[in-house]
Amino acid sequence: MITEKKSTITYRKWDNGAMREFSEEVTVVRMDNGAITYACGITQEGYLLHCYFGAAIGDDDISYLMRLSDHPFTPNGNNRDRLIFMDSRLFEFPCHGTGDYREPCLMVLDEDGMSTCDLRVTGYRTVKGKPALKQKGVSVIPATYAAKDEAETLVITLEDAHLDLTAELTYTMFTGLPVVTRSARVINHGYNEFRIQRLLSGCVEWDHSAFDMITLNGTWARERAVSRVALHSGKQSVDSKRGISSHQHNPFAALVSHDASEESGEAYGFNLVYSGNFLAEAEVATSGFTRFVMGINPFDFSWLLRPEEDLTAPELVMVYSDKGIGAMSRTFHDLYRGHLIRGQWKDKMRPVLINNWEATYFNFDEEKLYAIAKTASEKGIEMLVLDDGWFGKRNYDDCSLGDWVVNEEKLKGGLKPLVDRINALGMKFGLWFEPEMVSPDSDLYRAHPEWAIQIIGRDMTQAREQYVLDYSNPEVREYVYGQIRAILDSANVEYIKWDMNRALSEVGSTSLPRKRQRELWHRYVLGVYEVMDRLTTDYPYLLLENCSSGGARFDPGMLYFSPQIWTSDDTDAIERIKIQYGTSLCYPASAMGAHVSDCPNHILGRTTPFATRGDVALVGTFGYELDVTRIPEEDREAIPGQIAKFKKFNPLVRTGDWYRLGNPFEDDSFDAWMFVAKDRSEAVFTFVQILNRPSTPSRRILLRGLDPKKVYRNEDTGEIRLGETWMKGGVIVGAQGDFASRTMHFTVC
């Protein structure tokens, strides 16, 4: 529910040697849904200030939270110290140039080279539901969605009269979820063009700095490792300047109370629905107040706005929890499963697949693939995915990207004969693409070298002997999509793994004018979104899995198009425990691509039990990455049981509440987790012993999320106890050996 309340703030101050009384007419606009309250205030002069974001509070006058009676009071009564006012108040959407020296959300450069912007509120409106984000000339901007009875949206309009610039701030609050989403749109209503140097999606402020900042960091094969540090004076940030959301830093951050744990304390979580360069930054000012901003990274970015043109910032998702970090995560999971992921696979169990990459790499032909598929189908595997090497003259990773035509030396007659044989086994067929890339040794590059991202006259940096195609160029998008369509129309392909294996460099476009070259970072991402949107619209049955050299684009922007993302190229079960733990802080298990791979592991050389690899992969979409015809017979015979286990528990894993019971970043000797049904009728618990130790007692692990008054049976041991006992007394797990796992199923008696 969105409401407004007008009030008068009265204060006294010395003025010309005498104590005088001043008053300020203010309006507080607030959003409430019973779970949280979000409120902002409009001053008499039109400044938009932040009031409150947190647990739901009653219908009361909260205008005092604007702190207008603090020194230096308001410019309305104390214009001589307007500069101090601007640098000390809590703003909803701070701008650069009028005295606020903290990090701004908006910075504009006009034709005279001036960079000041002064936004004042001119009005607001409310909308039932959640309108899609829009920008002229842009076909799709990924964002969460909601029906009219599932959310309410507030749009606040602000103007800079000097620039003839309008800003629209959009806030959406979802029914029953402690979530607010934000975005900003800037429109040029004047006669002159100007440049947007910085447009962030949102800002939240607090009148204290008693927070820890949690971020997810790493590198290839070690994505989303959890970092937690206390805020300090100055700035703390994570970002990407690589053109992708990146292995190194995920577009997620949380500010949590110092005492916040999984089950208690305050947590504010932030996630940007975007797949390119981003910035997330917390700044502790000299006052001790904290400002958090997030959006497109302003580094090397500008956007030309001609008259009547607009620019829309990506959506920022903001989650509040006063019940710990775990509740914050479960809110993100619920939001993304219900209001971000789309399509026919949104709520469905995904087919169990086998990917040939670690089985064959580039060395395969139709008969080898068929042999893998035949054995896999006999064990209950439901889909064969043909990875890299099926096109052009691709026998190694040094050529043919961009030439999306079947290599008939490997697959005689094209894809259709192979796919028909796979389908005849009762299996689906999937295919790997890397459509954003081009190899220097390719027919496409020889025909159109200008289609690669480049700066004319400079050497082009290669990575994996490939360049990045300029997706800001509509000719490139049309050509690539045409090639994808031709392949999909040639055979019954029901799954695509969309890969992207390098970051951007020498960022320039041969198709953009000089004035728009710094827009390429963002236009590239918008171009990728357009092609993905066409693909999922034209082929609605298609299961699209996003991949970027593993998990370099595990972000909400990708989840809008692909219901699952390859979590990491590191498939080692023990490393995956950490990767999946970090990923779970924000993203649901239903989105995590997870496979049982061969041992010794192809990246680490580690050997882990086949059963443990299966239990860890259950936290995700589940599949196999190995040569099923060559693994030990004992492992091969275990596959039907693993698949049965997946089918039994996946509805619970895919839709239930995830509770993290261990923390491998704090205690790397074990990990444990559980998924609990929404109605708390059942739960599945998993424990993984990492390195065993001599002379150590069994572990007692407290369960969570059960109904304390209901009686639960441990189906694996036969023990029957109250939910309260399982949660306060726990389960006893004995030593099992290195890398061993155990799964328990609890049901209401």
Positions marked active-site: 499, 569
Reduce the secondary structure of 245-259 to three states and give it as a string.
Answer: CCCCEEEEEEEEECC
Tokens, residue 504? 């951007």
Cα atoms found within 13 Å of the Cα of residue 698, Cβ hemisphere only: 9
- Would you say the C-alpha torsion 519, 586, 622, 657 has a positive or negative sign? negative
Nearest to 157, CA basis, from 119, 118, 122, 196? 122
- Coil, helix or strand at residue 287: coil
For 534-543, b where at least 16 C-beta lie within 10 A, e where not — what string? bbbeebeebb
Instruction: Say which residue the tokens 């710094």 belong to.
Output: 518
Which residues on adjacent β-strands are paired with residue 602? Answer: none
Which pair of tokens denotes residue 74? Answer: 């308001």
Measured in whole angstroms, the distance separating CA 541 from the mean position of its chain's CA atoms is 23
Q: Residue 12 contacts by C-beta under 8 Å, 6 or more apart in sequence?
A: 19, 20, 21, 22
Give SS3 for 450.
Answer: helix
**What is the distance between the alpha carbons of residues 675 and 653, in angstroms, rounded to a whole number?**
6
Rounded distance between C-alpha atoms, residue 249 and residue 299, angstroms: 16
- What are phi and psi for residue 731, nearest 5 degrees? -110, 150
**What are the residues facing 386 on neighbouring strands?**
431
User: How many Cβ atoms sit within 10 Å of the Cβ of residue 722?
Assistant: 16
Torsion of CA 330, 331, 332, 337, to 10 degrees: 90
Residue keyed to tokens 């979000």: 38
Laid out side by side, the sheet with 36-42 consists of 2-15, 18-32, 36-42, 48-55
- Neighbouring CB atoms inside 10 A of 690's CB total 19
User: Which CA distances in Å does 643 have to 607, 624, 631, 638, 744?
Assistant: 21, 10, 17, 9, 16
584 within 8 A of 663, measured Cβ to Cβ:
no
CA neighbours closer than 13 Å in the CB half-sphere of residue 699: 20
User: CA-to-CA distance for 254 and 327, rounded, in angstroms?
Assistant: 13
Question: Both ends of the chain: CA-CA distance in Å?
Answer: 40
Query: How many angstroms separate the CA atoms of 96 and 281, rounded?
Result: 16
